[in-house]
Structure formats: C-alpha cells, structure tokens
Structure 1
C-alpha cells in the first residue's frame, strides 16, 4: 500500500487510502484486494486500476449484482456463525439458525455461479 500511495501522490498530493489513517477507503480496499487476488493466482489483477477491469466482457450492472449476491451470502453466514457461537455483539443483527442460513447461502451460491457463467 505504501508503494501504491506514493504513486498516487505523484498524481495528487492529497491522495489517501485511509482518511483517518487506519480504515481503508474504497481505493485502499482495492489495493489490498488486488494484491490478494494476485497472490492467489489471478495475474490479471496485478495492474488493474479498478475491479471491473477483471471482467471486461461483463456489464457493470451485472458485476454489481454479482457483488451484491456475494455480500448478501457473506452477511447471512457471518450473522449465523455469530449466533451459533453465541458471540455477543449488540450492534449486529441476530443471525438465522445455521441450517436455515446454509440453505439460503446454497441458493445464493447457485445464483452467483449462474452470474459467473
């Protein structure tokens, strides 16, 4: 991130990836994500400026729908696991029972797989 920030500051001296110095903004998250994707073998991520470049033949609306489904699946499972482990986080919504969450997650995964075809 330091190297990417140095490059960004050459174009815009006020550039930042974390306005509070701790929590990444969307650009900061993309830098982290891009490096992880590259590490895990998605070589085309290495030089992508934005995530939509990874799927040049897909519309942005299709990619946003895909992202929404992935995020929904993630949240269902996250909240179910918090419930199952009896983790107390009062600001979090109560999760579904695990069997119900897994059923919903499986259905969402089928939709995600369909969008990726």
Structure 2
C-alpha cells in the first residue's frame, strides 16, 4: 500500500510518505523503520545482499522478500537519478536483485525439475 502512495526521498536518502494521513498509521512507522534503518542504501551493501541472495539455499521468508523488493525500489530510484557510470552501477545492482528474486520465486519449480 505504501509503495502506491507518493514517496519522498530527500538528499540524505531518507524515505518518507508524503501523505500525512497515511504516514500517521502504525504500519507506516514500521515501513519508515524498514526503509530508513534496515534496507541497504549503498552500492556495497546492495551488492553484498545480492551475493547472499544468489546463494541462498531455500525460499526467502516473507519479510526478507519484501525488504528485497523495497531495496529494488530504492535502487531503481537511484538509477533514475544518476548519470553515466553511476547510473550503470545502480542499474546493474537492480538487475542483480531482480535475478535473485526471480530465482527465489522459481525456487520450488527449480527444485522439482532438477
């Protein structure tokens, strides 16, 4: 629900919900914590996450999957805001997260056909 609301990312990379009423909900506080204190925001941290996910031996827990999707959203935003080599770096990180989530979604299928 919060991803459909208009989000703001300030110069310090802090993510907030623009709609004050929506932002006042209890679940919005949890969303704020996840976005601003849990998901990785540096290329190094995001690459580390992608690496861990690519070798993860089983299906992700729901909260890990959701956090990875939020990281993808943040990475896509940074790619859109960047230029040149930085844009390529952020875009590559986005693709790597996508591949890891695709693998996770296909995991039961991959296991059955192996």
Q: TM-score, normalised by structure 2?
A: 0.34
Q: TM-score, normalised by structure 1?
A: 0.33
Higher relative helix content: 2
Higher relative strand content: 2
Q: Report 1 or 2 for greater relative contact order, CA contacts < 8 Å, sequence distance ≥ 6.
A: 2
The higher radius of gyration belongs to 1
